[in-house]
Structure 1
Amino acid sequence: MASIMEGPLSKWTNVMKGWQYRWFVLDYNAGLLSYYTSKDKMMRGSRRGCVRLRGAVIGIDDEDDSTFTITVDQKTFHFQARDADEREKWIHALEGTILRHTLQLREAETGFVPSVQDFDKKLAEADAYLQILIDQLKVGLNQETHVHPYHRSCMCLMSQLRHVVVADCDVGFSLFVQSTINPVDGIYQPPLDSPVVNTTMPTQTTLPTDASQVCKSDQRPSTLPVGPVVTVMGSLQTPTPNSTGSGASGPSSGVASPAHMPLPLHSVPDFSYSSSEDEFYDADEFYQTSTSPKHCIDPSGPAAAPPRTNEQTALKRPDTTESLNSSMSNGTTEADPFDSHDDRDDDGEGESVEEHKSVIMHLLSQVRLGMDLTKVVLPTFILERRSLLEMYADFFAHPDLFVSIAEQPEPRERMVHVVKWYMSAFHAGRKGSVAKKPYNPILGEVFYCHWDLPSEAEEPSPHTETVSEGPVPWSSTNSVCFVAEQVSHHPPISAFYAECLNKKIQFNAHIWTKSKFLGMSIGVHNIGQGCVSCLEHDEHYILTFPNGYGRSILTVPWVELGGECNISCSKSGYSANIVFHTKPFYGGKKHRITAEIFPPNDKKSFCSIEGEWNGVMYAKWATGENTVFIDTKRLGIVKKKVRKLEDQLEYESRRLWRDVTLNLKLKDIDEATDAKHRLEEKQRAEARERKENEQQWETRLFHEDGECWVYDEPLLKRLASQRQ
């Protein structure tokens, strides 16, 4: 057997609930990773099991430098090397084997080895088809020129008819519309028994989208760029049990260069297997099938509103008076000038990505383990219907906990309440069970919102005083107001700020998101920090953020948080260590969190906390008392209030992304992709224009201060100017 690598690895099994020693042999030509209970058994040919590598996906753990996984045939195998270097050798060899058998899938099935002459023949054939396509597009463009005037006349007539119909609608019809239209973007919600309309995401190509670009020349180009086309095809056979063993990991042998040989067809089994029916191939995985009914949208339903013309965005803040008056004139009552609807309220849970699996597999074939995904275009169907800036606002879904920090008389209690607010701040941002990615904010994009405190919402004051100088001028002095801005595109940095004037508390933060490909997972490192400032006590609490992970990206994706975070106050000396635990694949629970709160100059904590960051957390105090620290299941989420779309500025998040949001809700992935592409192209064009004119981008609401991004007019600065 022509192998390029062999040696010991540990393999996880469920029967023994632990790692078992195995001797592994990687066959480069057969695309097979075989394992034996010992090297002697390998010499005698007594194979314990094997992992077929064609169509396989390798995964790594960002927090464990010795383990890795291989996912194939609907199974996930877990392996452990001696150290990070040993794992790197195995992964490098495995990736090369997988890549070869992916590219030479046709060779493996037919035994045919293409030559240079065969390639030239196919290239000439494709060249001929290209010339035919160019000729056909020229004819199509000529016909389109004659049709265009008629199309324009029809559109004008349709516009006139629309105005006539709207003008003649009576009040009863208006009430009916209001009861069936989504309050955010005007989206019709059909009955549950409507037929299902499946939409698929086409793979991207490098062909120009404008036919006129193809036909600029009558003849085909003299040379054609040719690159490898990767097609990933994973087998879907029925999963079978897997293997176990015993022993400890030892040193590995060297690597040899194999000769180029045709792939043997007889030595590769149809699927990965184990010789024992009593063993399991994997640790407990949370693979589940979607049972949520899918809604369909009537194709004859309302279409997305055309994008508004671009406006100058030189204003630092919106015109509050004009915006509120606009709300009144559009039928919004004075008691409800804002939109508290969360676009995720009607999201289905448990939605799998099986229908888009081919697109994801194609994407996986283009990236490598550890690769930075910042500049990788991800498919539109995985997007959550809101911007990342709006997601950061969910840190304040419990505004009463945030303002309670400033209400505590003692430094110790203030630190405890900072930790309580911090540990409760993450569950609201992940409402559904399915992991989806928020929109990447456009440079200069902003998001405004505010929360009325629960007591104020129940008993509103008849004469509410607004904060004219604050970041959200239409909010009251007792509200928690929030503003966020995308201050940098490369690297992607978001800055956000929140305050409550009456409680004299503010929060300023910036986060640089750095994504990383981990095989079956995607890791997002949140680099940056936040600062809670209690102005009456002159205390500043510096805190960091956990990393996020999107797991099981080929089945039902789910999110977990991981990493160690710190909170410290230099004035009082109190500090806290908070650890978000990722789920180990060999048992353990998801979403675990632990924390320790320390007094000044003491390494012994006075409070230990453990539980689930999206569930219940329990505190054990130094006195021996045990209490419920936070129960997120019982905490009421206060919905943020955002201005109506028609009142927002061009660069506000919901208005910027409204076409993408609308089409995602309509399940029209193609239109959502086009709308997203238009936004991205506009951003690129503006960047090119600034570069040509040698202009620097000027932020709207934040400025850079050292390595931090600080809000221009924080509450601390405004109060200081009032005292002068």
Structure 2
Amino acid sequence: MNNEDEFYDAVTGLDSDESCEGTSEASFKDAVVDAGAEKNNGTVQANGIKKRRSNLPAPMFSRNNFSIWNILKKCIGLELSKITMPIAFNEPLSFLQRISEYMEHTYLIYKACAESDSIERMQAVAAFAVSAVASQWDRTGKPFNPLLGETYELAREDQGFRLISEQVSHHPPISAFHAEGLAGDFLFHGSIYPKLKFWGKSVEAEPKGTITLELPKHNEAYTWSNPFCCVHNVIVGKLWIEQYGTVEILNHSTGEKCVLNFKPCGMFGKELHRVEGYIQDKSKKKRCVIYGKWTECIWSVDPQVYESHRRNDKKAEAKKQKPEEADDAENDDADDMPEVQETVAVIPGSTLLWRVCPRPSHSAEMYNFTNFAITLNELEPGMEGILPQTDCRLRPDIRAMEIGDMDEASREKERLEEKQRAARKDRAKENEEWSTRWFELGTNPYTGSQDWLYTGGYFDRKFTDCPDIY
């Protein structure tokens, strides 16, 4: 096993989902929020043209006989990104494929495109930003670390987009992506490089990198970063995931801003999964309040209505509140996941911005994948001949794990890591720098910060001189 196998991606499923393929399969031209009108299992595209798989080739490998603590206790004081994890803790996707789960709810981008009012566009963008982290719920398996030069292509005509991503750096690990509407309606791009911290019982991923959404029709660009993500009980107990922190979405054209607070669960778990925030105009006047759960739904309501409702709630809570019992005792047991209240109390007069759909009934046997995630590593007939040899679908270790051959997956993973190390040593001997293929380091035109920008040309399908990384 490679001691340079980054553990960072165990908690960075950037980024998306809890919704079923049904909602995400909505026709991008219709851009509707009503999930009830969609297909209910995601195996058929909304336009009826193509079937996609609804199962993985083999069920999830049991992790019951493995302990993360047996790994971590040997690495106290070492850089967390250098910790080697057994393949049993992986899921059969590359981190590049997991990034593509941002796009599950592309219909929200098209909804934003269709709105004539900038505040309503911001509401749709805010819903899209929240939906992008929803697939992390219960996804405690870590994706495979992309090899340097690895790529992933995802084209979905039914949803009106195509995406290309590339692993542009190994140390630090940086993944860049670029997605675009098929009719030129939007550009969505960014680079992801999370920073990890180990807190004894949990692993926290600090988001790094800027996400940018451009809507050419409205001459607008929005930027934001993801919330913090924490995996609890990495030593003992059942793994569970928490999102927290403030996400600010800025419309660089209008000056409008959306501030979303992903709330930590708190001592009694009352805030688990909750998101609360507001949209303000350029004069900093609050135009609407946004609330809900990133695992369930997001609503918008008038600020005055919200404040009135909150005052009434506080009065009602004060009447029935009992004295809190102090319990600050230290313990080494698991951090039990708070009991989840599955419904959001909807304030009268609210507007639904986004709602998730149930995952497939067999999701727990499929790494808690959504319908969208189940399709990401599918190698459809004819694909192997047109994909570049760097595409994730062609990785032998991921393919072996997907079909349930864990021994072969482990051997292939180790072989690929050895091959990557040898290539790095050869470049060092020749004093050669790695050259990225589809992205280059530049400046984000909206934030002024350093960013990896798509150079174009991938979809012309001219895949000459692909590096031999597998």
Query: Is contact 1:594–1:609 with CA below 8 Å preserved after alignment?
Result: yes
Match of 1:388 in 2: 95
Match of 1:709 in 2: 452
| Structure 1 stretches of at least 4 aligned residues deviating more than 4 Å after TM superposition | 335-339, 342-348, 634-643
Query: Shift of the alpha carbon at 1:337?
Result: 10
Query: Is contact 2:243–2:273 with CA below 8 Å preserved after alignment?
Result: yes
Query: Is contact 2:2–2:417 with CA below 8 Å preserved after alignment?
Result: no
In structure 1, the residue corresponding to 2:261 is in which secondary structure? strand
| Percent of matched pairs sharing the same residue | 26
Q: Distance in 2 between matches of 1:557 and 1:591?
A: 15
Residues 1:682 and 1:520: Cα distance change in structure 2 (over 3 Å) = same
In structure 2, the residue corresponding to 1:396 is in which secondary structure? helix
Is 1:362 the counterpart of 2:55? The answer is no
Match of 1:566 in 2: 248
The equivalences for 1:35-46 within 5 A come to none
Match of 1:544 in 2: 225
Residues 1:452 and 1:660: Cα distance change in structure 2 (over 3 Å) = closer
2:114 maps to a residue whose letter is E
Query: Is contact 1:499–1:506 with CA below 8 Å preserved after alignment?
Result: yes
Structure 1 residue corresponding to 2:264, chosen from 578, 582, 586? 582
2:170 maps to a residue whose letter is H
Match of 2:143 in 1: 438
Q: Distance in 1 between matches of 2:354 and 2:252?
A: 26
Q: Distance in 2 between matches of 1:527 and 1:619?
A: 28
Match of 2:153 in 1: 448
Q: Distance in 2 between matches of 1:689 and 1:338?
A: 45
1:387 maps to a residue whose letter is S
Q: Distance in 1 between matches of 2:195 and 2:206?
A: 5
In structure 1, the residue corresponding to 2:456 is in which secondary structure? coil
Query: Is contact 1:449–1:483 with CA below 8 Å preserved after alignment?
Result: yes
Residues 1:521 and 1:353: Cα distance change in structure 2 (over 3 Å) = farther
Query: Shift of the alpha carbon at 1:587?
Result: 3.4
Match of 2:427 in 1: 690
Query: Shift of the alpha carbon at 1:344?
Result: 5.6
Structure 2 residue corresponding to 1:655, chosen from 394, 419, 430? 394
Q: Distance in 1 between matches of 2:200 and 2:352?
A: 38
Q: Distance in 2 between matches of 1:205 and 1:535?
A: 45
1:592 maps to a residue whose letter is R
Q: Distance in 2 between matches of 1:634 and 1:621?
A: 29
Structure 2 residue corresponding to 1:497, chosen from 171, 175, 178? 178
Query: Is contact 1:497–1:506 with CA below 8 Å preserved after alignment?
Result: yes
Residues 1:673 and 1:342: Cα distance change in structure 2 (over 3 Å) = farther
In structure 1, the residue corresponding to 2:119 is in which secondary structure? helix
Query: Shift of the alpha carbon at 1:586?
Result: 3.5
Give a deviation string over 1:280-324, Cα, whole Å, max 9, x none: xxxxxxxxxxxxxxxxxxxxxxxxxxxxxxxxxxxxxxxxxxxxx
Query: Is contact 1:444–1:700 with CA below 8 Å preserved after alignment?
Result: yes
Q: Distance in 2 between matches of 1:345 and 1:414?
A: 40
Query: Is contact 1:616–1:633 with CA below 8 Å preserved after alignment?
Result: no
2:411 maps to a residue whose letter is D
Query: Shift of the alpha carbon at 1:559?
Result: 2.1
Query: Is contact 1:543–1:566 with CA below 8 Å preserved after alignment?
Result: yes
Query: Is contact 1:399–1:451 with CA below 8 Å preserved after alignment?
Result: no
The equivalences for 1:321-400 within 5 A come to 340-341=52-53, 347=59, 353-357=63-67, 360-368=68-76, 372-400=79-107
In structure 2, the residue corresponding to 1:374 is in which secondary structure? helix
Query: Is contact 1:450–1:480 with CA below 8 Å preserved after alignment?
Result: yes
Query: Is contact 2:72–2:83 with CA below 8 Å preserved after alignment?
Result: no
Give a deviation string over 1:201-232, Cα, whole Å, max 9, x none: xxx799xxxxxxxxxxxxxxxxxxxxxxxxxx
Q: Distance in 2 between matches of 1:346 and 1:336?
A: 26
Q: Distance in 1 between matches of 2:202 and 2:229?
A: 10
Give a deviation string over 1:334-356, Cα, whole Å, max 9, x none: x99988447769655xx874411
Query: Shift of the alpha carbon at 1:482?
Result: 0.8
Match of 1:424 in 2: 131
Q: Distance in 2 between matches of 1:693 and 1:337?
A: 50
2:262 maps to a residue whose letter is F
Q: Distance in 2 between matches of 1:563 and 1:344?
A: 34
In structure 1, the residue corresponding to 2:286 is in which secondary structure? coil
Larger RCO of the pair (alpha carbons < 8 Å, separation 6+): 2
Structure 1 stretch displaced more, 337-346 or 684-693: 337-346
Is 1:606 the counterpart of 2:253? The answer is no
Query: Shift of the alpha carbon at 1:638?
Result: 5.8
Query: Shift of the alpha carbon at 1:503?
Result: 4.8
Give a deviation string over 1:611-637, Cα, whole Å, max 9, x none: 210112232223633233322137996
Query: Is contact 1:607–1:622 with CA below 8 Å preserved after alignment?
Result: yes
Query: Is contact 1:381–1:664 with CA below 8 Å preserved after alignment?
Result: no
2:215 maps to a residue whose letter is C
Q: Distance in 2 between matches of 1:549 and 1:355?
A: 23
Query: Is contact 1:390–1:447 with CA below 8 Å preserved after alignment?
Result: yes
Query: Is contact 2:56–2:402 with CA below 8 Å preserved after alignment?
Result: no
Residues 1:713 and 1:434: Cα distance change in structure 2 (over 3 Å) = closer
Query: Shift of the alpha carbon at 1:452?
Result: 2.9
Match of 1:51 in 2: none
In structure 1, the residue corresponding to 2:154 is in which secondary structure? strand
Q: Distance in 2 between matches of 1:616 and 1:336?
A: 27
Q: Distance in 1 between matches of 2:252 and 2:304?
A: 26
Query: Is contact 2:400–2:406 with CA below 8 Å preserved after alignment?
Result: no
In structure 2, the residue corresponding to 1:355 is in which secondary structure? coil
Structure 1 residue corresponding to 2:354, chosen from 630, 637, 647? 630
Residues 1:343 and 1:557: Cα distance change in structure 2 (over 3 Å) = farther
1:363 maps to a residue whose letter is I
In structure 2, the residue corresponding to 1:356 is in which secondary structure? coil
Match of 2:309 in 1: none
1:391 maps to a residue whose letter is R
Structure 1 stretch displaced more, 641-650 or 381-390: 641-650
Q: Distance in 2 between matches of 1:411 and 1:596?
A: 14
1:597 maps to a residue whose letter is I
Structure 1 spans left out of the alignment, 5+ residues: 1-203, 207-334, 455-478, 716-724
Query: Shift of the alpha carbon at 1:595?
Result: 2.1
The equivalences for 1:286-297 within 5 A come to none
TM-score, with normalisation over the residues of structure 1? 0.45
Residues 1:552 and 1:346: Cα distance change in structure 2 (over 3 Å) = farther
Residues 1:575 and 1:713: Cα distance change in structure 2 (over 3 Å) = same
Structure 2 residue corresponding to 1:681, chosen from 418, 423, 426? 418
Greater radius of gyration (CA): 1
Query: Shift of the alpha carbon at 1:489?
Result: 0.5
Residues 1:671 and 1:653: Cα distance change in structure 2 (over 3 Å) = same
Q: Distance in 2 between matches of 1:550 and 1:383?
A: 14
2:109 maps to a residue whose letter is F
Q: Distance in 2 between matches of 1:493 and 1:437?
A: 16
Structure 2 residue corresponding to 1:480, chosen from 152, 161, 182? 161
The equivalences for 1:72-221 within 5 A come to none
Residues 1:372 and 1:393: Cα distance change in structure 2 (over 3 Å) = same
Match of 1:42 in 2: none
The equivalences for 1:161-310 within 5 A come to none
The equivalences for 1:306-325 within 5 A come to none
